[in-house]
């Protein structure tokens, strides 16, 4: 009994530190091994989607509310960032101003949507958030005068530190900066987990009735989780827009994106922070690295003609996402890295 007690904290610390180091060294190592692929550019979306996963994880993992409108909050963040930083409009707050503002608008949007709807039953909430996602998309598409419709707002400033824009000129540095973002958020969330707020979230998830009997204000607790999660998703949206240098078109923030976020949380492990990071690696790695690389490879070998729908790997995307959800629910409903729930 003594040995594990001594080893566990040590192993835990080594594990976390090692993970961060490993992640920091990943792009150079990967590029050394496979020189023809630009990994730093491909790995940044993984980190941004990990933040999106954090946002959904607070709502779905910690507090047990199914949110199917994550993409809407991401869109709100991206367009807040876009409107406040693009040169067409008079605000031009720069990277940090836009990012901070997106945190606030995201929280506000989450609060306003949550206020009337969080009293609903779980599955109704899922539908309401799905509907919200579609409405936001429609609004962005229809208010073409402000959002520039399918062109998107661009060019937007890239990530910058102390006035130095990292963007495309220093891809490795901006990768490290994003990694620092993720690590800082992971630390905050880890500590939040053991705070009164985090415990209240878990209590509401595990048994709402029991939690309310113990004096936990259920609706307030849910509302806090919802607004906080929305704010993180919005942050992910702002970082995404700064990464692309554009908001992209409203159609990018669709239901499919929300399902990818859900897959990240479900595959990784609901409520588990390392799980979300792993989930982001698997899902985004699959979606924007594996499928893209496979398509290119097949294209080069001349195997895939445009004629055959089955031959294009990206056509299998929905199939794999759907299968992942079904199989995970049957085989490992708690995900690959389940949340540590203390003594059981």
Partner 1 sequence: MTELEVILQQLVTGLSNGMIIALIALGYTMVFGIVELINFAHGDLFMLGCFLALTLLGVSGLAAVEPGSTASLGALILMLTVVPLFCGALNWGVDRYAYRPLRNAPKLAPLVSALGVSFIFLNCGLFWGGLPLEVFGYGIAAASPKDFPALLPSENLLGASNIYITYREVLVFIVTIPLLALLSYIVKRTTLGKAMRAVAQNPTAARLMGIDVDRIIGLTFMIGGSLAGAASVVYALTYNTVFFQMGFRVGIDAFTAAVLGGIGNLLGACLGGIAIGIIRALSDQYIATQWTNSVVFSILILVLVFRPSGLLGARVRDKV
Where do contacts with partner 1 occur on this chain (CB under 8 A)? 60, 64, 66, 116-117, 120-124, 126-128, 130-132, 134-135, 138-139, 141-142, 255, 259, 262, 266, 306-310, 315-319, 321-326, 328-330, 333
Distance CA 239, CA 80 (A): 11
Q: Toward partner 1, which CB reaches closer, 98 or 114? A: 114
Shortest separation between residue 45's beta carbon and partner 1, angstroms: 20
DSSP string over 9-51: HHHHHHHHHHHHHHHHHHHHHHHHHSTTS-HHHHHHHHHHHHH
Q: Toward partner 1, which CB reaches closer, 210 or 214? A: 210
Q: Toward partner 1, which CB reaches closer, 19 or 218? A: 218
Distance CA 288, CA 153 (A): 23
**H-helix segments, 91-121:** 94-117
Placement of tokens 């958020």 in the chain? 185
Shortest separation between residue 27's beta carbon and partner 1, angstroms: 31
Shortest separation between residue 298's beta carbon and partner 1, angstroms: 16
Distance CA 193, CA 340 (A): 11
Q: Toward partner 1, which CB reaches closer, 1 or 310? A: 310
Shortest separation between residue 315's beta carbon and partner 1, angstroms: 6
Shortest separation between residue 282's beta carbon and partner 1, angstroms: 15
Q: Toward partner 1, which CB reaches closer, 280 or 321? A: 321
Distance CA 175, CA 334 (A): 30
Mapping DSSP to helix (H, G, I), strand (E, B) and coil, where does residue 197 land? helix
Three-state SS sequence of 124-185 = HHHHHHHHHHHHHHHHHHHCHHHHCHHHCCCCCCCCEECCEECCCCCHHHHHHHHHHHHHHH
Q: Toward partner 1, which CB reaches closer, 29 or 138? A: 138
Shortest separation between residue 323's beta carbon and partner 1, angstroms: 6
């Amino acid at each position: 009994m003594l040995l594990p007690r001594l080893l566990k904290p040590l192993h835990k610390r080594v594990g976390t530190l090692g993970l961060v180091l490993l992640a920091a060294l990943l792009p150079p190592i990967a590029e050394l091994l496979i020189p023809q692929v630009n990994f730093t550019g491909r790995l940044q979306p993984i980190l941004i989607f990990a933040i999106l996963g954090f946002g959904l994880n607070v709502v779905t993992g910690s507090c047990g509310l199914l949110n199917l409108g994550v993409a809407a909050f991401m869109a709100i963040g991206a367009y807040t960032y876009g409107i406040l930083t693009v040169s067409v409009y008079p605000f031009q707050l720069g990277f940090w101003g836009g990012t901070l503002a997106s945190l606030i608008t995201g929280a506000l949007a989450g609060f306003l949507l949550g206020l009337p709807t969080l009293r609903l039953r779980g599955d109704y909430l899922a539908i309401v958030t799905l509907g919200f996602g579609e409405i936001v998309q429609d609004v962005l598409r229809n208010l073409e005068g402000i959002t520039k419709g399918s062109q998107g707002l661009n060019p937007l400033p890239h990530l910058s530190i102390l006035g130095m824009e990292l963007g495309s000129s220093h891809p490795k540095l901006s990768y490290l900066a994003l990694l620092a973002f993720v690590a800082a958020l992971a630390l905050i969330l880890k500590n939040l987990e053991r705070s009164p707020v985090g415990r209240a979230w878990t209590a509401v998830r595990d048994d709402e009735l029991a939690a309310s009997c113990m004096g936990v204000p259920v609706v307030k607790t849910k509302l806090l989780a919802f607004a906080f999660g929305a704010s993180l998703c919005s942050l992910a949206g702002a970082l995404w827009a700064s990464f692309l240098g554009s908001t992209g078109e409203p159609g990018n923030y669709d239901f499919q994106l929300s399902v990818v976020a859900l897959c990240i949380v479900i595959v990784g492990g609901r409520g588990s922070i390392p799980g979300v990071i792993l989930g982001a690696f698997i899902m985004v790695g699959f979606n924007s690295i594996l499928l893209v690389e496979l398509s290119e490879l097949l294209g080069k070998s001349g195997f895939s003609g445009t004629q055959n729908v089955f031959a294009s790997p990206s056509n299998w995307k929905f199939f794999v996402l759907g299968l992942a959800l079904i199989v995970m629910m049957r085989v490992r409903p708690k995900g690959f890295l389940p949340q540590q729930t203390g003594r059981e």
